[in-house]
Amino acid sequence: MPDDLKKRVKELIVRQLKLEMDPATIADEAPLFGDADGGLGLDSIDALELVLGVEKEFGIKVQDEEVGVKAFASVNALCDFVREKAA
């Protein structure tokens, strides 16, 4: 079911941040934050929105900023984080 998780995470990102894009176009390894090539260019306010979205979608709380920065580095990183917390 790993592809299902990636799909859910990408849909969560687009829905929670009200992005006008197809979730499928978000690359698995692309950086979500900053202006790096191919990244989404999200900022700290977006990070908080993602924290709230992950809490609502997966029931996982992210209270530490350092954990959040690591977990939201990319779609793959966020999937790893969700799997780890759900295990």
Give the torsion through C-alpha atoms of 29, 77, 75, 41, to 10 deg.
Answer: -80
Site string for other proteins, 62-81 (x = CB under 8 A): x--x--x-------------
Distance CA 87, CA 33 (A): 26
Q: How far is the CB of 49 from other proteins (least distance, A)?
A: 8
Distance CA 36, CA 74 (A): 12
Stretch that binds other proteins, among 21-29, 33-41, 42-50, 73-81 (CB under 8 A): 42-50
| Member of 48, 83, 84, 86 binding other proteins (CB under 8 A) | 48
According to the binding rule CB under 8 A, does residue 52 interact with other proteins? yes
Distance CA 40, CA 38 (A): 7
